[in-house]
Structure 1
């Protein structure tokens, strides 16, 4: 009897739940000046959707902006809350934490700027993506700006492994991250397997934490259709946080959107 093949792409979830303490250690912060620049143009209040442990929200609050940080993960928000206890009160006082799914949230205010840094692709289906965009539109002010940050699926590897350099943490310990990325081009799904290895000062392993997450590979055509069906229109787009022009070789597609104007 032939061995049953395991479907590695079935039942994938957004992931990262329970790994917030390590997540920030390996995240590239090169997007922070970009978001601050656009916050300065649009002003408060700002909605940070899928805010995670508050990497971007905290940076904006430090610059004086009022931020509502929304995430579905209780563990991520718990890590965020611990961070808030360690920053000056004027900074923490500018941030409101909301636990809610980005595909289904209803808040009692409208926002000048809405951002979804790195995370929109965790809405894994077309239905989920449309639901998220609908919620975003419902919460935008009439002249508000929505920055939609997408990975360019054409720039993703079919399969790749990587290993990050160790990062120092408390008590002389270090954390290293090993990862494997796989994609299913037919189903337009990306799978990311991460392993965080914590070592003591003598190099012995004291903890290993594994995380598996999934993301949708959203083509340009699909993204354009989602935008139109959700009542947005494109103001401009960029291929990176340096505002370089977007082309098929860009690693990201960053879209600047507003509510579609009636003619």
Structure 2
């Protein structure tokens, strides 16, 4: 599982607080440039989707996690957003369908990397292309793999590494989060075990992410029918180099 469980939904906004301002502004700018509807894939608790809706953008989103969507809907309803139920759906990013076409599709927060099988990556990109209007664009981001960093985590550690302390928003109870991670270099998959300690009880969840290299993703785009693309080294659309931390992509149908 990825961010699908109830424990992640409790702390996800706290976990991401202050981490994504530049990312949010990038996706908002891309959405503002559109005249037609836009779609967010893996919208989670609404970090990108809700700000788009607040600006009056014709935005829709879906996520595989019912718990995440529950948190999104609760926030939207607290703000009395109209028609929010008709704008969010529970679907898998490798198997989704809408009757409409979108001017833009966004996959923020490195969410595409949660597709750990190449067949599902291809299915996702083909589905996105099929749902784009002619000339429509896909925008997404993920980290630039560092061989040195990946190799340094090729053996599973003995101990969990503390991540942070959070609180259950419903009752304020303390949640301690820690993790172990190991990189499968042969298959390009990072396996992460997250440990939630709540009221002296331990809950473990597993997460896998598949890192992607620049030339590999260009091939995936070509294979799934995209006509052209640009890759940047940051959300400011700076030049991509080997030392860039992030890959930010825009691809057009």
Settle same-fold status: TM greater than 0.5. Answer: yes
Q: How many residues align?
A: 240
Contact 2:4 2:67 in 1 (8 A): no
Counterpart-to-counterpart distance in 2, 1:184 and 1:255 = 25
Q: Which residue of 2 aligns with 1:255?
A: 249
- What is aligned with 1:22? 11
Residue 242 of structure 1: how far off its partner (Å) = 2.9
For the residues of structure 2 that align with 1:218 and 1:172, how far apart are their CA atoms? 38
Q: 1:208 to 1:55 in 2, by over 3 A?
A: farther
Give 1 or 2 for the bigger CA radius of gyration.
1
Return 157-166 or 121-130, whichever deviates more: 157-166
1:110 maps to: 101
8 A contact 2:150–2:185 mirrored in 1: no
* Paired residue secondary structure (2:94): coil
CA 242–16 in structure 1, closer or farther in 2 if over 3 Å, else same: farther
Change (3 A) 1:125 1:172: closer
Tell me the CA shift for residue 177 of structure 1: 2.6
Counterparts of 1:168 and 1:21, CA distance in 2:
8
Counterpart of 2:52 (choices 60, 72, 89) is 60
Distance 2:60 2:203 in 1: 30
- Provide closer, same or farther for how the CA distance between residues 193 and 231 of structure 1 changes in structure 2, counting only shifts above 3 A: same
Say if 1:20 and 1:168 are closer, same or farther in 2 by CA, change over 3 A.
closer
Q: Kindly indicate whether the alpha-carbon contact (under 8 Å) linking 2:39 and 2:106 is maintained by their aligned counterparts in 1.
A: yes
Q: Report SS of the residue matched to 1:232.
A: coil
Distance 1:240 1:94, change over 3 A: farther
Aligned to 1:70: 62
CA distance in 2, matches of 1:222, 1:213: 22
- The SS at the match of 2:69 is helix
Change (3 A) 1:206 1:86: farther
Identify unmatched segments of 5+ residues in structure 2: none
Q: Secondary structure at the match of 1:150?
A: strand
Task: Trace 1:61-210 onto structure 2 (pairs within 5 A).
Answer: 61-90=53-82, 93=84, 96-117=87-108, 118-154=110-146, 156-158=149-151, 159=153, 162-167=161-166, 170=169, 173-198=173-198, 205=199, 208-210=202-204
Alpha-carbon distance, 1:174 to partner: 4.1
- Structure 1 gaps, min length 5: 1-12, 199-204
The answer as to 2:234 corresponding to 1:237 is no
Matched-pair contact (CA < 8 Å) for 1:67–1:94:
no
RMSD after superposition: 2.3
What is the TM-score normalised by the length of structure 2?
Answer: 0.84
